[in-house]
């Protein structure tokens, strides 16, 4: 068998790596396509409505969607593991309700925020534990979590409660000036900060890589000795925490607590994540993609607001249509790249 020893290293060496790199690049295709299409949409908007082409319109996409960005971040973690969290919208509402009620009773805003974060994180943790230890599908558990959180809102109060506390109103009205007569809200910085942290966690920590591994193949991840259980539980806790933060951001944004607020927001968050290129089956996707997904949903809304001639039903049809055009183009580009 002597010929072998001199021979093996020659065989595949040359061709394989280059092609693999090409293959690897395809991973980013859906997300890159999303970014490209977003830019294209912005350009189209600018062509159609003159006042569209302003930096502030772009920044408003962030200002008006801080909470959704944060929600999408949490949701990205969950979906990457192959799970889903339907409770986020209701937890946002609950966080708003709790903070509005407590602030009305004269609580210190710092304490309120801490408490809200604890409630959100705690609820997420609880759902994670149930999902993991009793092996119940995330869909059901988080749906029950949604009922529970929304139900607690009703129990707290059926009426909407205004927030008049100084810190919250200050945050609501603060504008951080940027060059060129532009501004953003403090919430935007917070949201972007969270995105950065999430990006770091996902790509530069073991926890983050375990999240991806679980999505790739949970059984394999378990056999590889990864802390699958703990990670899955944590992911839901994280999502709960993000929902609580989103709730506080929404409080800053709308200065009230209302039991029906953020209805259906879970679907927006999921849609943003999926539009951003994350696979619902888990394992592939990027948190930055999810942010762009939020912006895409936002820009669709902006289109509607700018148009101003659409009746209610045409609004829905146009939203659906834009979504369709978007995903079709995304598929097309992703396919070409892959």
Partner 1 sequence: MRMNEIVPVVEMTDIAIGFPGVKALDGVDFRLFQGEVHALMGENGAGKSTLIKALTGVYAIDSGTITVLGEPKRFSTPGESQAAGISTVYQEVNLCPNLTVEENVLLGREPRRRGSIDWKGVRTRTREVLAELQLDHIDPGSLLSTHSIAVQQLIAIARSVEINAKVLILDEPTSSLDADEVRQLFRVIRDLRNRRVAILFVSHFLEQVYEISDRMTVLRNGKLVGEYLTRDLSRMSLISKMIGKDMEALAELDQAPARTRASNGAGVTPFIEAKGLGRKGSVSNVDLSIYPGEVVGLAGLLGAGRTEIARLFFGADKADEGSIKIKGAGQRIRSPRTAIDKHIGFCSEDRKEEGLIGELTVRDNLVLVMQASKGWARRIPRRVQDELVAEYIEALDIRPANPDALIKNLSGGNQQKVLLARWLVTHPELLILDEPTRGIDIGAKTQIQKLVNKLAADGMSILFISSELEEVLRVSDRVAVIKDRALVAEINNDDVSVEDVMTVIAGGAQ
Partner 2 sequence: MKSLLKHRLAWPVIALAALLLLNQVFKPDFMSLRMQDGHLYGSLIDIMRNGAPTILIALGMTLVIATRGIDLSVGAVVAIAGAASCAYIAASPEPGSPVTAATAVLIAVVAALALGVWNGFLVSTIGVQPIIATLVLMTAGRGVAQLITGGQIVSVSNDSYKSIGAGYLFTLPVSILITAAVFALAAVLTRRTALGTLIEAVGINPVASRLAGLRARNIIWIVYVFSAVCAAIAGLMISSNVTAADANNAGLYIEMDAILAVVIGGTSLAGGRYTLVGTVVGAFIIQTLTTTVYTLGIPPEVTLVFKALVVITVCLLQAPKARNLLSRLKAAPKPAAQEAAKEKVAI
Partner 3 sequence: GGTAGAGSAAGNSGDDKITMGFAQVGAESGWRTANTKSVQDSAKKAGVDLKFSDAQQKQENQIKAIRSYIQQKVDVIAFSPVVESGWDTVLKEAKNAKIPVILTDRAVDSSDKTLYKTFLGSDFVEEGKKAGEWLVEQSKASEPVNIVEIQGTTGSAPANDRKEGFAEAIKADPDLKIVASQSGDFTRSGGKQVMEAFLKNNADIDVVFAHNDDEGLGAIEAIEAAGKVPGKDIKIITIDAVKDGMTALSNGKINYIVECSPMLGDQLMDLAKKVIAGESVPERVVTEETTFTQEQAKQVLASRPY
Ligand X SMILES: Nc1ncnc2c1ncn2[C@@H]1O[C@H](COP(=O)(O)OP(=O)(O)OP(=O)(O)O)[C@@H](O)[C@H]1O
Written as six digits, the tokens of 17 are: 């790596």
4 near ligand X, judged by CB under 6 A: no
Residue 309 partner contact from partner 1, partner 2, ligand X, none using kind-dependent CB cut-offs of 5 to 8 Å: none
Out of 46, 222, 271, 304, the only residue in the binding site for partner 2 (CB under 8 A) is 271
Give the residue among 269, 252, 291 at the shortest CA–CA distance from 95: 252
Looking at residues 109 to 168 of the shown chain, list those that interact with partner 3 (rule: CB under 8 A). 153-154, 158-164
Q: State how far the Cα of 38 lies from the Cα of 35, in Å rounded to an integer.
A: 5
Q: Tell me 282's DSSP state.
A: S
Out of 225, 264, 312, 313, the only residue in the binding site for partner 1 (CB under 8 A) is 225
Q: Tell me 158's DSSP state.
A: S
250, 256 contact by CB (below 8 A): no
Written as six digits, the tokens of 119 are: 């409630």
Helix, strand or coil for residue 248?
helix
User: Rounded to 5 degrees, what are φ and ψ at 176?
Assistant: -95, 110
For partner 1, the closer of residues 316 and 335 by Cβ is 335
Residue 152 partner contact from partner 2, partner 1, partner 3, none using kind-dependent CB cut-offs of 5 to 8 Å: partner 2
320 near partner 2, judged by CB under 8 A: yes
Residue with tokens 């994670």: 128
Q: Which helix (H) or strand (E) holds 49?
A: none
Written as six digits, the tokens of 70 are: 């944060």
Written as six digits, the tokens of 41 are: 């949409």
Q: State how far the Cα of 303 lies from the Cα of 47, in Å rounded to an integer.
A: 12
Out of 50, 134, 179, 225, the only residue in the binding site for partner 2 (CB under 8 A) is 134
Q: Tell me 177's DSSP state.
A: E
Give the residue among 97, 95, 86, 84 at the shortest CA–CA distance from 146: 86
Looking at residues 242 to 301 of the shown chain, list those that interact with partner 1 (rule: CB under 8 A). 283-284
Give the number of residues in contact with partner 1, rule: CB under 8 A.
Answer: 47
10 near ligand X, judged by CB under 6 A: no
The nearest distance, CB 90 to partner 2, in angstroms, is: 9
User: Per CB under 8 A, which region of 37-45, 108-116, 133-141, 193-201 contacts partner 2?
Assistant: 133-141
173 near ligand X, judged by CB under 6 A: no
Out of 38, 77, 236, 253, the only residue in the binding site for partner 3 (CB under 8 A) is 253
Looking at residues 16 to 35 of the shown chain, list those that interact with ligand X (rule: CB under 6 A). 16, 19-20, 23
Out of 12, 309, 312, 313, the only residue in the binding site for ligand X (CB under 6 A) is 12
Out of 8, 20, 51, 137, the only residue in the binding site for partner 3 (CB under 8 A) is 51
User: Per CB under 8 A, which region of 1-9, 112-120, 124-132, 181-189 contacts partner 1?
Assistant: 1-9
20 near partner 1, judged by CB under 8 A: yes
Give the residue among 206, 204, 215 at the shortest CA–CA distance from 283: 215
Q: Which helix (H) or strand (E) holds 162?
A: strand 161-162
Q: Which helix (H) or strand (E) holds 17?
A: helix 15-25
Neighbours of 122 (CB within 10 A): 14
The nearest distance, CB 313 to partner 2, in angstroms, is: 4
220 near partner 3, judged by CB under 8 A: no
Written as six digits, the tokens of 319 are: 């939203």
205 near ligand X, judged by CB under 6 A: no
Neighbours of 262 (CB within 10 A): 28
Residues in the site for partner 3, rule: CB under 8 A? Answer: 48-51, 54, 56-57, 60, 64-65, 67, 153-154, 158-164, 169, 172-173, 250, 253-261, 263-264, 298, 301-302, 304-313, 315-316
Residues in the site for partner 1, rule: CB under 8 A? Answer: 1, 3-9, 11-17, 19-24, 27, 200, 203-206, 209-210, 212-213, 215-217, 219-229, 283-284
């Amino acid at each position: 068998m002597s010929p072998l020893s001199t021979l093996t290293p020659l065989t595949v060496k040359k061709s394989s790596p280059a092609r693999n790199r090409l293959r690897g690049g395809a991973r980013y295709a859906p997300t890159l396509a999303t970014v490209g299409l977003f830019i294209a949409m912005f350009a189209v908007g600018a062509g159609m409505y003159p006042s569209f082409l302003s930096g502030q319109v772009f920044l408003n996409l962030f200002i008006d969607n801080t909470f959704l960005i944060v929600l999408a971040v949490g949701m990205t973690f969950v979906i990457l593991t192959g799970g889903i969290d339907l409770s986020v919208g209701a937890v946002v509402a609950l966080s708003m309700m709790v903070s509005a009620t407590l602030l009305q009773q004269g609580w210190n805003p710092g304490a309120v925020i801490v408490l809200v974060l604890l409630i959100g994180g705690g609820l997420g943790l609880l759902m994670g534990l149930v999902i993991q230890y009793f092996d119940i599908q995330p869909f059901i558990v988080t749906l029950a979590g949604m009922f529970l959180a929304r139900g607690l809102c009703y129990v707290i109060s059926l009426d909407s409660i205004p927030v008049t506390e100084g810190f919250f109103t200050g945050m609501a009205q603060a504008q951080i000036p940027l060059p060129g007569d532009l501004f953003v809200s403090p919430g935007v910085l917070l949201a972007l900060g969270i995105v950065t942290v999430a990006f770091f966690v996902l790509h530069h920590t073991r926890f983050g890589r375990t999240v991806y591994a679980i999505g790739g193949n949970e059984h394999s991840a378990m056999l590889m000795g990864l802390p699958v259980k703990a990670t899955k539980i944590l992911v839901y806790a994280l999502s709960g925490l993000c929902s609580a933060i989103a709730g506080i951001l929404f409080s800053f944004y709308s200065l009230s607590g209302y039991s029906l607020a953020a209805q259906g927001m879970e679907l927006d968050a999921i849609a943003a994540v999926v539009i951003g290129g994350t696979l619902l089956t888990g394992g592939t996707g990027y948190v930055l993609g999810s942010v762009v997904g939020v912006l895409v949903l936002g820009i669709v809304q902006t289109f509607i607001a700018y148009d101003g001639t659409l009746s209610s039903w045409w609004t829905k049809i146009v939203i659906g249509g834009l979504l369709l055009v978007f995903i079709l183009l995304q598929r097309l580009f992703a396919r070409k790249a892959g």
